[in-house]
Amino acid sequence: MTHWLNVVVATPAHSAVAGPLTYRSESALSPGTLVRVPLGKREVLGVVWENLADSGGLAETQARNISGTLEGLAPLSATWRRLVGFTAGYYQRSLGEVALAALPPQLREMTGVQLARRLKRPVLDSSHAQDTTNSIALSAQQAAALAEFDADTRPALLFGATGSGKTEVYLHAAARVLAQDPDAQVLVMVPEINLTPQLQARFQERFAHLGKERVVSLHSGLTPAQRLKSWLSAHAGHARMVLGTRMAVLASMPNLRLIVVDEEHDPSYKQQEGARYSARDLAVYRARLEAQEASSGNACRVMLGSATPSLESWQATITGRYQRLTMNERVGASMAPSPGTGVSSLPPEGANFGSAALRELRGGPSENWPAPEGGVHIGRLPQVRGVDMNHQPKHCVIAPPLVNAIAQRIARGEQSLIFLNRRGYAPVLACHDCGWKSECPHCSAYRVFHKIDRTLRCHHCGFTERVPRACPACGNIDIAPVGRGTERLEEHLAELLTGVTRPDGSAVRIARIDADTTRLKGALESQLASVHSGEVDVLVGTQMIAKGHDFRHITLVAAINPDGALFSSDFRAPERLFSLLMQAAGRAGRDARHSEASEMWVQTFHPTHPLFAALKQHDYPKFADQQLAERQAAAMSPFGFSALVRAEAREQEVAQGFLNAAAAAAQASELDGQGLVTPYPAVPMTIQRVANIERAQMLVESPSRAALQRFLAAWQPLLFETRRQAEFKSLVRWAIDVDPIAI
């Protein structure tokens, strides 16, 4: 008997094939089954999407048989397929592109025989240990937050100060879910790959009684074999807990009961290639889908955690769509790192809370802060000091008072963190005679000078070459770096701290952590371990050290040059800057013994800016209110909805022409939803050229999310049609970015 199947396969972006293809099978297959099917001259992996009553008009001579089935794997659930379908529709991508990208790369290449061989390997670790999930006492605020969470069904935003113990709340919430249902699964998401190993070590330690293989990770840093192993374990229900980055939101977890999104504000949750989805938003949607499918009492919940929530999530708590759980007390008990991990047992967190709570918390000396019942100690947030660089010596990089403060910390055996979000030695190399600068020949950007290997490196296309001996334009040998990166800042600090010694009389030790120093496997872990062990006195780095790490001996954090984002054309820039500075501040004083003396120094030429006023008070609500008022007046997110249509071509005129022609075609066709949608003229992107490709973008706005979605869906065929016009044959690619995080 012949069975007809709709099968989803990965098709090229913006190809004419966007939906399922019809195939013939000799046996009935359940929707969600993985199959090998012919596609052109290749054989590819596909997902059975639905069974058909007939061929749907497909001629018998055109019909092709499936090549085989990947036996031994349970079909992907209906909830997973609905999630993928929503993702593809909302973010305007093909169904097959999203579905197959959510599967491990190694699985996509496997035959049925190879998979069968792989599935014969043992999956579970039979070792068990004592249940330690509730071994750490909760503070009163942590316990109250958990109680509130259990009493509600809405998505929850856990708004907690730096070091308030949000990870401990995650652990206890996960423990309750796993204890209530022996098959339940928990998904915990973090924004950065470098945070996953330390979080996994902590979760594995606390849930060791489940067996080591029950806690797995999913992120792009894994080898293909490791990623496949974790995915198979989650799909089979063996893994009770999955920790991962944004890709994990689309993992197959048939018994999902809790989703935690740590640092939910982080822009890393927005995919920037292919299907440009927001993992945070999909987590909320997935929890709703899972709750609809779950039996009574087993509904899936989602908990978003941050000290500086995204304005979208914050506004959702104001309107009542989300539940807000507030923890404004900083848990600062001193705890040693877990053996062999270099990671402290306290959670990596964000930073801040309202000014009223702050004033109450800072109301008295440390002896007036007894440990609450259970032995949980309370610490303070660091005092924020603004340094007006207009009153410092000319061309000063680090203000003398800040240098003195760092020296005092070193003399006391404490650590300092210096934050500069620009790697390399200097952002540009220049000739002051003729004006030559180290521009990238392939991009509209400068190549960064890296002194350590004497190279000029483009951070956009990767083009690298040796530093010239003289100016390539005029031959002047006196070419010099302009500006400073972390590499140059590290060198400058060593000069400024000459003569300063540690308590034992030894020389100061300065370390740098950024993308350049952590390229090799294991480099980041070893460098973090040296910081945790006290070998480092001053740590210099980019945003990768400004968030998520629990440094126990850092009492001073300094932001060297944060002004660039204050006047950016991107409306989200102030939100990102405030969050980053609060995250950086949160690295100081995480041990209650040092919290009273902890400080955050901010060097700025604009000390009266409202952002710094809110930062000084650790007052996120004040900052959010001001930003939301501006957003509402301008009808921007979360009060308006937008999409960016980007085009890339060899010539800028072609890229812009394509976008403007497509918009004109939409106007002429009177598309569905067009009355509520405003497309703006195409303009070059901020970095106009990358790798010799010109880039342009068009902003499309609407006060209605539904109207914008209807318009984009109806516009897609016109975009394809415009692309086929002769004058746009040199167009390289185009893409739609719904809910963009940067404009």
State the distance between the two ends of the chain, measured CA to CA, in whole angstroms. Answer: 55
- Of the pLDDT bands very low, low, confident and very high (cuts 50, 70, 90), residue 369 is very low
Comparing CA positions, the residue from 387, 445, 454, 465 lying closest to residue 424 is: 454
Whether residue 458 is annotated as binding a ligand: the answer is: yes
Contacts of 646 (CB under 8 A, 6+ apart): 685, 695, 696, 697, 698, 734, 735, 736, 737
Whether residue 443 is annotated as binding a ligand: the answer is: yes
Strands, DSSP E only, in 501-640? Answer: 510-513, 538-541, 554-559, 599-604
- CA 374, chain centre distance (Å): 34
Mean pLDDT for the stretch of residues 67-80:
93
Lowest mean pLDDT among 22-31, 126-135, 165-174, 272-281: 126-135
Give the separation between CA 695 and CA 620, rounded to whole angstroms: 36
Compare 561 and 257 and report the one with higher pLDDT. Answer: 257
Sheet containing 21-25, strands listed edge to edge, beginning at the edge strand earlier in sequence: 21-25, 3-9, 42-52, 34-39, 68-69
Structural domain boundaries in the chain: 3-77+85-119, 168-299, 379-423+485-632, 428-482, 641-738
Are 282 and 150 within 8 A, CB to CB? no
Q: Which residue's structure tokens are 């070590």? A: 201
**CATH architecture, range 3-77+85-119:** 3-Layer(aba) Sandwich (3.40)
Kindly report the length of the chain. 743
The CA distances from residue 565 to 256, 422, 569, in Å, are: 39, 13, 9
DSSP for residue 29: -
State residue 594's pLDDT score.
Answer: 62
Are 694 and 651 within 8 A, CB to CB? yes
Pairing mode, strands 215-218 and 554-559: unpaired
State residue 373's pLDDT score.
Answer: 37
Contacts of 218 (CB under 8 A, 6+ apart): 227, 230, 231, 234, 242, 243, 244, 245, 247, 248, 251
Question: What are the backbone angles phi and psi of residue 693, rounded to the nearest 5°?
Answer: -115, 125
Give the separation between CA 512 and CA 536, rounded to whole angstroms: 10
Are 453 and 465 within 8 A, CB to CB? no
Comparing CA positions, the residue from 237, 208, 232, 202 lying closest to residue 218 is: 232
Sequential DSSP letters for 662-685: HHHHHHHHT-TTGGG-EEPPPEEE
641-738 carries CATH number 3.30.70.360: yes
Contacts of 738 (CB under 8 A, 6+ apart): 90, 91, 92, 276, 643, 708, 712
Lowest mean pLDDT among 90-94, 131-135, 194-198: 131-135
The CA distances from residue 119 to 126, 240, 669, in Å, are: 17, 18, 53
Comparing CA positions, the residue from 380, 374, 353, 358 lying closest to residue 158 is: 353
- CA 384, chain centre distance (Å): 26
pTM for this predicted structure: 0.87
Q: What is the CATH number of domain 168-299?
A: 3.40.50.300
- Of the pLDDT bands very low, low, confident and very high (cuts 50, 70, 90), residue 697 is very high
Phi-psi region of 32 (alpha: psi -120 to 50; beta: other; left: phi over 0): left
The CA distances from residue 426 to 177, 243, 321, 418, 480, in Å, are: 50, 37, 46, 16, 9
Tell me the three state secondary structure of residue 260. Answer: strand
Sequential DSSP letters for 282-350: HHHHHHHHHHHHSPTT---EEEEEESS--HHHHHHHHHTSSEEEEE-SEE----PBPTTT--BSSPP--
State residue 344's pLDDT score.
Answer: 30
Whether residue 474 is annotated as binding a ligand: the answer is: yes
Q: If you average pLDDT over every residue of the chain, what do you get?
A: 86
pLDDT by residue (tens digit) across 95-149?
A: 999 999 999 999 999 888 888 888 887 655 544 555 555 567 888 999 999 999 9
Whether residue 300 is annotated as binding a ligand: the answer is: no
Are 683 and 743 within 8 A, CB to CB? no
Give the separation between CA 371 and CA 660, rounded to whole angstroms: 64
pLDDT by residue (tens digit) across 417-442?
A: 998 888 777 788 999 899 999 999 99
- Evaluate if residue 339 carries a pLDDT over 50: no
Please indicate whether the domains covering 168-299 and 379-423+485-632 agree at the CATH topology level. yes
Sequential DSSP letters for 358-393: HHHHTSS-GGG-PPPTTT--EE-PPEEEEEEGGGSP
379-423+485-632 carries CATH number 3.40.50.300: yes
Tell me the three state secondary structure of residue 607. Answer: coil
Mean pLDDT for the stretch of residues 660-681:
93
Contacts of 113 (CB under 8 A, 6+ apart): none
